[in-house]
Amino acid sequence: MKYLIINGTPHKGNTWKLVQLAKESIQLKDQLAVFDEIHLARLNLPFCSGCSVCFRLGHEKCSHHEIIGQIIDKINNADGVIFASAAYNMRETAMLKNFFDHLCFMLHRPNFFTSKALVITTAGGVGGKRAAKSISTFLKGIGFNRCYLFSVTTYSWNDYKIKDITRVKLRKVVSKFYRDILSGRLHSPSCMLLIPYNLFRGMSLAYIKGTEFETEDGLYWTEESRSKSVYDSAVHVPIYKKPIGHLFYLIGKIVGRKLVVTYKK
Ligand SMILES: Cc1cc2nc3c(=O)[nH]c(=O)nc-3n(C[C@H](O)[C@H](O)[C@H](O)COP(=O)(O)O)c2cc1C
């Protein structure tokens, strides 16, 4: 199995110790596991410039695509992705947030439907869980099929010692993450995911090719495989959830007709 580690913390500190433990736990289960590491601090990724080119014309046109495109490819090629972040101001670090800002177009055009994540956060006192939740909420929005969260309060600057109980708990979460990846099973989306997905599916019809404000969203949502289905075809949606998708698609279509977002070209 291939694992990608995205380190959103500027140094290898407290959070990295937990990442190392997670890595060891995976290696115990899978001696052939291969790990690739991305340390965002080393990439010198500029801030998202807010040009909205990714939304309008496609993410390949982003002036930072050389960096972002490679990470997207690596996520797509990994069986599992580990995101690591310290809690800064009770959220993910600005560096990880900056990376996420570059992927915000995927909230309009989700992508990682077969990806599964393990999110590891630490906080000195408070906010670690909130940071993990913030990360996983974003990941689910861009398509991630499942996120496992692990958060620890370290009460330490650079001198965190992992307690035995934390080791046990982390191993448990890693085990679930690993078994889930191994199963190859894709979980059906929650209703809370079907709602925004289908609102976008409906609303984006106002931006299809030939309309005044045609965008990449319009192209994406009119793709043959996507236009008629309440979720990506890779993921099974049980019959009882489908009406929710259809309903919000209709609402999206109505809203899209009344509320047109203008794009200056
Ligand atoms: C800029 C900055 C902001 C921080 N914000 C918080 C915070 O909101 N809540 C908290 O409990 N700890 C906060 N901390 C402490 C770190 O989250 C904590 O020490 C963490 O374990 C550090 O992980 P690291 O060594 O992997 O960077 C902050 C630390 C820094 C440097």
CA 5 to chain CA centroid, Å, is: 13
Domain containing 15: what range? 2-183
Residue (of 187, 185, 186, 191) closest to 241 by Cα position: 191
Exposure letters 232-260 (e unless 16+ CB within 10 A, then b): beebebeeebeebbeebbeebbeebeeee
Q: From the CA of 155, how far away is ligand 1's center (Å)? A: 9
- The domain boundary residue, chosen from 183, 210, 234: 183
Q: Please give the pLDDT value at position 265.
A: 62
Q: From the CA of 241, how far away is ligand 1's center (Å)? A: 40
Chain segment 164-223, per-residue pLDDT in tens? 999 999 999 999 999 999 999 999 999 999 999 999 999 999 998 888 888 999 999 999
CB contact at 8 A, 205 and 253: yes
**Letter for the amino acid at 52?**
S
Q: Are residues 7 and 49 in the same domain?
A: yes
The token pair that represents 153 in the structure block: 């309060």
In a domain, 265, yes or no: no
Q: Are residues 175 and 200 in the same domain?
A: no
- The domain boundary residue, chosen from 140, 159, 183: 183
Q: From the CA of 46, how far away is ligand 1's center (Å)? A: 22
CA 235 to chain CA centroid, Å, is: 16
Place 153 in a pLDDT band, splitting at 50, 70 and 90. very high
Percentage of the chain modeled with pLDDT above 90? 90
Closest C-alpha to ligand 1, atom 12 = 124
C-beta 85 within 6 A of ligand 1? no
Q: Are residues 80 and 112 in the same domain?
A: yes
Q: Please give the pLDDT value at position 260.
A: 83
CATH (domain of 50) = 3.40.50.360
Q: What is the DSSP letter of 155?
A: -
Q: Are residues 179 and 195 in the same domain?
A: no
- The domain boundary residue, chosen from 183, 214, 244: 183
Is the backbone of residue 35 left (phi > 0), alpha (psi -120 to 50) or beta?
beta
Place 158 in a pLDDT band, splitting at 50, 70 and 90. confident
Q: Are residues 158 and 253 in the same domain?
A: no
C-beta 120 within 6 A of ligand 1? no
Q: Are residues 124 and 232 in the same domain?
A: no
Alpha carbon distance 92, 22 (integer Å)? 19
Chain segment 116-140, per-residue pLDDT in tens? 999 999 999 999 999 999 999 999 9
In a domain, 206, yes or no: yes
pLDDT at 7 over 70: yes
Closest C-alpha to ligand 1, atom 28 = 88
Domain count, the chain: 2
In a domain, 60, yes or no: yes
